[in-house]
Amino acid sequence: MMQEQKQMIDGLDMSVVEQIAEHYKSILTLIGENPERDGLKKTPMRAAKALSFLTSGYRKDPKKVVNSAIFEYSGSKMVIVKGIEFYSLCEHHILPFYGEISIGYVPGEGMVGLSKVARIVDVYARRLQVQERLTREVCYVLYKELGAKGVIVYCEADHMCMKMRGVEKENSSTATVEYCGVFDDFNMRQEFFSQLRGYKK
Q: Would you kindly state where each structural domain of the chain is located, as residue ranges?
A: 8-54, 61-196
CATH node for 61-196: 3.30.1130.10
DSSP secondary structure, 122-180, as one string: HHHHSSEE-HHHHHHHHHHHHHHHH--SEEEEEEEEEEHHHHTSTT--TT--EEEEEEE
- Quick one: which of 37, 89, 148 has its CA closest to 138? 148
What single DSSP character describes residue 200? -
Q: What is the DSSP string of 3-16?
A: PPPPPEETTEEHHH
Q: Which residues are known catalytic residues?
A: 90-93, 131, 159, 161
Give tens-digit pLDDT for 176-192: 999 999 999 999 999 99
* 15-58 pLDDT tens trace: 999 999 999 999 999 999 999 999 999 999 999 999 999 999 99
Q: Number of C-alpha atoms within 13 angstroms, CB side, residue 90?
A: 15
Hey, which CATH number is domain 8-54, 2.120.10.70, 1.10.286.10, 2.30.30.90, 3.90.1150.10? 1.10.286.10
Flag the least confident range among 60-64, 82-86, 152-156.
Answer: 60-64
pLDDT at 167: 72
In sequence order, which residues have a C-beta less than 8 Å from that of residue 74 and are 6 or more positions away?
Answer: 111
- Predicted TM-score (pTM) of the model is 0.89
Report pLDDT for 1. 44
pLDDT at 136 over 90: yes
CA torsion through residues 188, 189, 194, 200, sign? positive
Position 163 confidence tier, pLDDT thresholds 50, 70, 90: confident
Residues 62-71, mean pLDDT to the nearest whole number: 88
Closest CA to 156 of 174, 142, 170, 141: 174
